[in-house]
Chains A and B, each alone.
Chain A
Amino acid sequence: MSSAALLILVLTLPVAGILLVVVGGGRQARGISLAVLVGNFAVAVGIGGAVCRTGRAVTYSSGGWTAPLGIQLRADGLSVVMLITAAVVALAVGVYAPNEFAVRRGGVETRRSLAFWSLLLAVSCAMNAIFLGNDFFNLYVALELLTFAAVPLVCLTGTRATLEAALRYLLFALTGSALYLLGVALLYGNYGTLDITKLSGLVRYEPGMPLWVAVALMTSGLAAKTALFPLHLWLPPAHGGAPPSASALLSALVVKGSFFLTVRLWFDTVPGQAGMRTGQLLGAMGAGAIVVGGVLALKQERLKLLIAYSTVAQIGYLFLMFPLAGHVGALSGGMLQAAAHAFAKASMFLGAGLMAEVAGSDRLDGLRGMGRALPLTTCAFVLAALSLVGVPPTGGFMAKWQLLSAAFSAGQWWWVVVILCGGLLAGGYMFRAVRPTLVEGIQPAAAIPRLREWVVLALAVCALLLGGFSKKVLELLDIGRPQITEMRP
């Protein structure tokens, strides 16, 4: 097996894990899942090593059938950064989760243990498939995999409110899938291939109305799945109501899946072709997300809802890369933001879960004294908040810095204003979340295993380190990119 075969391994390993969890029942679910997630991380790093070593994208054609008839998997710099990010977050959630989805005494499987562990592995598999897909139909299957893994995670507790949130999420997600698929059908009808590399060559010579209708359909479908403002209505109840481990997966990873596909569509398939106006429209929606999400986050009284609205706002930054496409820093800023937000947000949701376990609820006014009760978690919480606000030297800062410099070099000063306003708003709502934890107060004694606290801290430290190692990450992001990406449109 060559290193290219690792691409297949990173897809099939989680699938094998799901099968073992379904067959082995709850008793073994945790052990199987953790083993698979560790393996998943190792393979992701292995792929990263192969890409760095060769300095080129690694590809693999399943069954030996080459594209366009067969399916090609392709790992470039973007894939590697996201693969490793997702593997770290999924592993962290797996280590954190046991207490929440423990198996009943006597080793009898429960509804939650079966569902949680198989869905965790499914999210992992779907993310990997999205990061490696180089064929729009293969990517559609990956997207469906992600939807069917994510929606049940919302209603794991089974309460009426979470079922409603899950149903609403399902409707948005399926509408998004249908629009995406319509676009894919149009692309095939017009070009006779769905391979991204082949398509990017064809559209340069034969753009036209069908192409733009397809891109519009796919982009709106993906935006609904990513919860881009004003299609964000499903996100806060879904992410705020799910169990903390599920919220962490949903906010940190799942929304990045459809975002990543949007990047593949705009930066890899039709680079430098979209008019100024469409990019500005996506950017404007992102700006709306930053402002509206930020203002609504300021108003929340429950910690998990506050964090969920912060996700709405942070997703906005991701879409600022589209109007700035072609300027140095746009693509890398957006991707850094995706990774930094994944670490920080996973840390925050998991930390919020621990705090709610101690305090009995996640109401902000009940968090006093948390700094003494859970020092490690509170420390992680502050670090993650700094990254989300964009304070140097965190990953969040580097991401926003890249976007700012792209905005300056593009001469589009209005995005600078948006980014600065977003930073102020984030500072405001994060201050509201952090302040009570640092104030003196008395919390009931609760036995939280140290390991779970360390996991929360480790994720926050990852967000911090991403800033420190941003130069390396930026170099990695450039590997295997078509030259056109960083040119003026």
Chain B
Amino acid sequence: MIKKLTNQDLKALLKELRQEFLVIAPFKVKQGRLMKVLYQPVKNDEQLSSIYLTDQPDASPKEYFLPRDDKLGEETAGADCEPADWQDQPRIFLGVRSCDIAGIELFDDVFIENDYIDPFYQQRRENSIIIGYSCSEKADNSFCQEVGVNPVDNDNVPLMLYQKEEGFFLKINDEDKLKEMGILEKIENLADGTDEDLEALINERQEAFKEDDFTIKSELPFPEKEAFSSVNWEEVTASCLGCGVCTFYCPTCFCFKFFWEDVEKNRAWDSCMFSLFTEHASGHNPRESQEQRWRQRLMHKFSYHPKNYQGEPGCVGCGRCVSKCPVNLDIRKVIAHFENSIVGEGVKGNEG
């Protein structure tokens, strides 16, 4: 089902949704010398006019699912304890782009599927509805299509928003979910759009996302043995300073550490780019140099994650790690270097 909305319709819809939901949307926020686009909860109806959808947000909404600093309750409370910041009010995330949707899907694979359920993640996730947003132009340094993400269209979220010159299309992907959450009834009365009109818009946009200079030629997973034996990681990652910016801004990096404050258990983001990440109690560090940590980051995304999750890449191509890096060390450059290094070996991937 496709609906057609004017700017006013969207605002009215969000106003109505705010009665029952916590709406979280991107806003322009000044942080020191930087003007950033960040997801923030809408605090009042007036703020609805300031929602900023034009550019890719500076950070994905990952901190709303895996907070930077998460209090997990007292050790004795058992597995069913709720997150400390828990709110019963369900959340709607507005304007989430395909790269960040893919990031959340990857989190779902890791935290709520297979053999392991993380109850904190699960509660936050099940309490959230995502309204996707179609990109109209390529974000800086992004390469999403190379990792199988379609920036223009997405069927994996209940609702998908497409901004037009005037107004929006809203595509309904999951009627059951919307009905269950009491959202469908608020949308049903909006004007209908046609499949043809939406398709025309999508096709036109896809033109704008034609191939660029960067392509990933190897199949996933990247071969592990060759990564260790045939690639000069030091040469290509020499400028890395060893900070955690790339991993903290990455929509798919989820590594964390536990720590205790008295009996209260906490979880905070950790980063494979830090030396402490792998340091043993003995003082021995199996990854003692920065290029080994870089190798780990790249291989986790392009070898180990695909190996564990049916070939799915561990990178969504949003480009933030490149743009945010203090020395602009480009993951595309490292991938190209990797591929050039192993090509002499006649390796096509998938043999590690």
Judge: A and B partners, yes or no.
no
